[in-house]
């Protein structure tokens, strides 16, 4: 369409910016299912087409699949390779996915943990051709064993930085919140106030003003950015149920 005014131009850029935003919430139940044989070059929002995507890039972009295998092994070193197998479904053929461990045993998708499947989906999202510039993840810690949250999320953040992807995530997990001890300015707290949702920056709207009020009263500072998850759980940072 012809752009007639500055408002049209502004709206055009906003609309195109939103086209680059994708919200991903991998559905681990769907990740366990066989995938259709299709030419998939992008991962869907719920990653339900992950099997088809990985099977397709094996032929068209083998270097991407090799990178996914390598990254999977770096973070979840129990597994060293990915395997596909045709399965018959109502007269047609689908494909199922499995991971091969160090001993050569294959664990098919229905046998894998939700956390392992979720991480494989995240790798597929990040390494897909033309990945999104802005990636929104809803509660990415779901299905990940508590002992693996730190290493998995650290790995995802490093991969996103390498790819130039900005990540916005929501979480109700104290361990994941702890990952932001050193970057409190990256954390925003959402809470209800008189029926409205208020958004506060953890550093500039909570920690710094809180310490200033204490200092004015001659009291020692109690707001810091260490053990953020515990402080949030105890209610010091807001964002608690009402």
* CA 43 to chain CA mean position, Å: 13
Residue 28 and residue 128 in one domain: yes
Rounded to two decimals, the pTM is: 0.75
Range of the domain at 225: 186-234
Tokens standing for 15? 């609309």
| Tens-level pLDDT at each residue, the chain (242 residues) | 444 444 554 454 445 555 556 778 888 889 998 888 777 788 998 999 999 999 999 988 999 999 999 988 888 888 999 999 998 877 778 899 999 999 999 999 999 988 889 889 989 998 998 887 888 777 777 767 777 788 777 887 888 888 888 888 888 888 888 888 888 888 888 888 788 888 888 888 888 888 898 888 888 877 777 888 888 887 777 766 65
DSSP annotation string for 101-154: ETTS-EEEGGGS-HHHHHHHHHHHHHHSSS--SEEEEE-TTTTS-GGGHHHHHH
Residue 166 and residue 193 in one domain: no
Residue 26 and residue 115 in one domain: yes
DSSP annotation string for 199-224: EEEIIIIIIHHHHHHHHHTTPPP---
Dist. CA 27–CA 47, nearest whole Å: 7
CATH number of the domain where residue 146 is located? 3.40.50
Give a yes or no: residue 48 inside a domain.
Answer: yes
Give a yes or no: residue 18 inside a domain.
Answer: yes
Give a yes or no: residue 93 inside a domain.
Answer: yes
Dist. CA 75–CA 51, nearest whole Å: 20
Count of CB atoms within 10 A of residue 104's CB?
Answer: 8
Dist. CA 69–CA 78, nearest whole Å: 12
* Closest of 222, 203, 201 to residue 211, by C-alpha: 222
Tokens standing for 163? 């790819």
What is the structure's pLDDT at 12? Answer: 46
Give a yes or no: residue 242 inside a domain.
Answer: no
In degrees, to the nearest 5, what angle opens at C-alpha 20 toward C-alphas 16 and 23?
135
Dist. CA 234–CA 148, nearest whole Å: 24
Of 138, 171, 204, the residue that ends a domain is 171
Residue 51 and residue 146 in one domain: yes
Give a yes or no: residue 177 inside a domain.
Answer: no
Task: Please answer whether residues 156 and 165 qualify as being in contact, where contact means their C-beta atoms are separated by less than 8 angstroms.
Answer: no
Residue 152 and residue 202 in one domain: no
Of 171, 200, 226, the residue that ends a domain is 171
Count structural domains, the chain.
2
């Amino acid at each position: 369409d012809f752009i007639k005014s500055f408002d049209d131009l502004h709206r055009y850029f906003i609309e195109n910016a939103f086209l680059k935003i994708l919200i991903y919430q991998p559905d681990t139940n769907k990740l366990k299912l066989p995938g259709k044989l299709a030419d998939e070059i992008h991962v869907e929002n719920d990653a339900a087409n992950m099997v088809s995507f990985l099977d397709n890039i094996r032929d068209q972009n083998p270097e991407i699949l090799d990178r996914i295998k390598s990254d999977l092994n770096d973070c979840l070193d129990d597994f060293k390779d990915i395997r596909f197998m045709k399965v018959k479904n109502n007269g047609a053929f689908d494909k199922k996915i499995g991971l091969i461990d160090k001993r050569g045993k294959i664990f098919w998708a229905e046998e894998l943990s939700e956390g392992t499947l979720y991480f494989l989906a995240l790798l597929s999202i990040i390494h897909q051709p033309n990945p999104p510039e802005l990636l929104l993840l809803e509660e990415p810690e779901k299905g990940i064993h508590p002992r693996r949250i730190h290493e998995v999320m650290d790995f995802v953040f490093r991969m996103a930085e390498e790819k130039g992807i900005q990540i916005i995530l929501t979480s109700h997990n104290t361990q994941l919140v702890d990952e932001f001890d050193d970057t409190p300015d990256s954390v925003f707290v959402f809470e209800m106030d008189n029926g409205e949702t208020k958004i506060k920056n953890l550093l500039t709207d909570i920690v710094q003003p809180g310490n200033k009020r204490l200092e004015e009263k001659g009291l020692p500072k109690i707001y810091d950015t260490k053990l953020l998850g515990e402080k949030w759980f105890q209610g010091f940072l807001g964002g608690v149920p009402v």
